Structure 1
Amino acid sequence: MTVAPDRVLVIVPAWNEHRSVGGTIREIHSADPNFHVAVIDDGSTDDTAQVARAAGATVLRLPFNLGVGGAMRTGFTYAQRHGYQRVIQVDADGQHNPVDIHRVLAGLEHADISIGARFSDVGDYAVKGPRRWAMLFLAGVISRVAKTKLTDVTSGFRAAGPRAIEQYVRYYPAEYLGDTIDSLVAACHAGLTVKQIPVAMRPRAHGTPSQGPIGASVYLLRSVFALSLALLRRARPLQPEALQEQNA
């Protein structure tokens, strides 16, 4: 199956999100009925797959939990095989507002990767303490790598054009923060360009994110370690023939 060049694939990684995934899919379709939604069921033990399918999504089931990186690489592979030229990630927990999908996708007119940024004077998303320090440090370092000012490099609300899809199929790490930090650094090293679009995030529809001073301190240490590993890796620049094969 080959899709129309302007068709958009919305990838929704989901792990035990049966309470929120259905509502997220319906919101995506409300934002644009032409969006094709692919839910990557990341080894869920609840009814995530059934709920997603009933809401109108294509469901790709992984046999066990791989994490967001493994789920997204599956989604990008699916996108490449079916000829999608634009892909965007929307989390199943309801934090990413589907109303903003078109705004984030518009960033692909000027770059290979478009990030929906939480800290760009839109909305009231706030992070304090060590977690905030980590985010500021990461943004400062990766801004220099990307050669553009970025304020939110850990946002998963991001879109990919043809070159980014090709890059992510080749390399999209599954380890901690690999889906955000490592994948972004590797893409920049491969010559891809990045742009950020201000968006407002929402609270999780269900569940409780990890909080507390201990968890925030651990996040700080792990994020710095993840960035260090990412900077040590050097991805090969994409070759023109690779893109020609993708678009053939």
Structure 2
Amino acid sequence: MNTSPALRPLIVVPAWNEELSVGETVQEIRAATPDIPVLVVDDGSTDHTVHVARLAGARVLVLPFRLGVGGAMRAGFRYAVRHGFDAAVQVDADGQHDPRQVPALLSELGDAEVVIGARFCHPADGYHVRGPRRWAMVVLSKILSRLTKTRLTDATSGFKATGGHALPLFAEHYPDEYLGDTVESLVIAVRAGCAVTQVPTRMRPRRGGEPSHNPFKSMIYLGRATMALLLALIRRWDLSTTAPAPLRTVEEGLT
């Protein structure tokens, strides 16, 4: 089902030391979705990420120190709410997400408030995860499928669209802990009554920079993923207030 023509989305690109890829990523997003503004949230980078993003034509929100993906996205959600956007799409700065698939995610916001771009649906793309990290993804997806009452095959994907009640909810409560931006955020959304769904998407190799994980950390990932899910299931939040706190000095870095 298509979303309302009045939908006003914002593409949020969290970036930490992504000077090698963020410029091309922003240019590709703008070419694929020219009517959707792009906000790069610089997560305390120590390289030229901010300068490159600005040259590429993005709005830039500069965080004074590193908060992690969750903290950067929460700042992006707050910016979206405060500036009248009613949907936000996370696109990673490393070029792995194909911005031509953003409309597919947005099209599902008519029926859901969180839409996940599921990886692993196109084996020919060559995107594979094996070993303990893959095991963790499978287990997390099965458990979260039961919670959301819909089949999820990739609960840890960072390629997501958020709208409806979930947008102000995440602007206030989006987790910034490790894996909180994927696992715990879905638990929060479900407990607040938000519908979650997924659409198949393609993944591509990184354009540059350093990957957030490597094979030597797979076992650590498995343990931390399990702990993140357990904490998300037992944790309690006050979800009655969803008006986002002000950005304060964070927004001073916006151009």
Residue 170 of structure 1: aligned partner? 172
Local SS of the residue matching 1:196: strand
* Aligned-residue offset at 1:158: 0.2
Amino acid at match of 2:90: Q
Structure 2 residue aligned with 1:140: 142
Displacement of 1:178 in angstroms is: 0.7
Contact 1:42 1:63 in 2 (8 A): yes
Per the alignment, residue 8 of structure 2 pairs with 7
Distance 1:21 1:64 in 2: 18
Structure 1 residues 235 and 147, CA, compared in 2 at 3 Å: closer, same or farther?
Answer: farther
Aligned partners of 1:114, 1:235: CA distance in 2, in Å? 22
Q: Which runs of 5+ in 2 are unaligned?
A: 244-255
Q: CA separation in 1, counterparts of 2:218 and 2:78?
A: 33
1:119 shift after superposition: 2.8
CA distance in 2, matches of 1:75, 1:237: 19
Aligned position for 1:76: 77
In structure 1, give the amino acid aligned to 2:73: M
Unaligned runs of at least 5 residues, structure 1: 244-248
The answer for the alignment partner of 2:117 in structure 1 is: 116
Q: TM-score, normalised by structure 2?
A: 0.89
Q: Is the 8 A contact 2:144 2:155 kept in 1?
A: yes
Higher relative contact order at CA 8 Å, sep ≥6: structure 1 or structure 2? Answer: 2
Q: Decide whether the 8 Å contact of 2:121 with 2:200 is kept in 1.
A: yes
Q: Which residue of 1 aligns with 2:214?
A: 211
Q: Which residue of 1 aligns with 2:252?
A: none
Alignment match, 1:91: 92
* 2:230 alignment partner in structure 1: 228
User: How many residue pairs get matched?
Assistant: 237
The one-letter amino acid of 2:8's match is R
Task: Work out whether 1:188 is the aligned partner of 2:190.
Answer: yes
Distance across 1 between alignment mates of 2:51 and 2:6 = 29
Cα deviation, 1:23-80, whole Å, max 9, x if unaligned, reads: 0001111112111000000000111111101111110000000000110000000000
> How far off its partner does 1:139 sit?
0.3
> Per-residue deviation at 1:109?
1.6
Q: 1:128 is matched by which residue type in structure 2?
A: R
Residues 194-217 of structure 1: CA deviation (Å, up to 9, x unaligned): 0100001111111342222x3111
Task: Give 1:86 shift.
Answer: 1.3
CA drift at 1:107: 1.5
CA distance in 2, matches of 1:121, 1:29: 25
Alignment check: 8 A CA contact 2:20 2:209 kept: no
SS at match of 1:44: coil
Q: Distance in 2 between matches of 1:147 and 1:173?
A: 22
Deviation at 1:236, TM superposition (A): 4.7
TM-score (norm 1): 0.91
What's the RMSD between the two structures over aligned residues?
Answer: 1.7
Aligned to 2:29: 28
Contact 2:7 2:86 in 1 (8 A): yes
Query: Cα offset for 1:191?
Result: 0.7
> Given that residues 78 and 172 in structure 2 are in contact (C-alpha distance below 8 angstroms), is that contact kept between their aligned partners in structure 1?
no
Where 1:38 maps in the other structure, the secondary structure is: strand
8 Å CA contact 2:43–2:65 kept in 1: the answer is yes
Name the aligned partner's letter for residue 158 of structure 1.
Answer: K
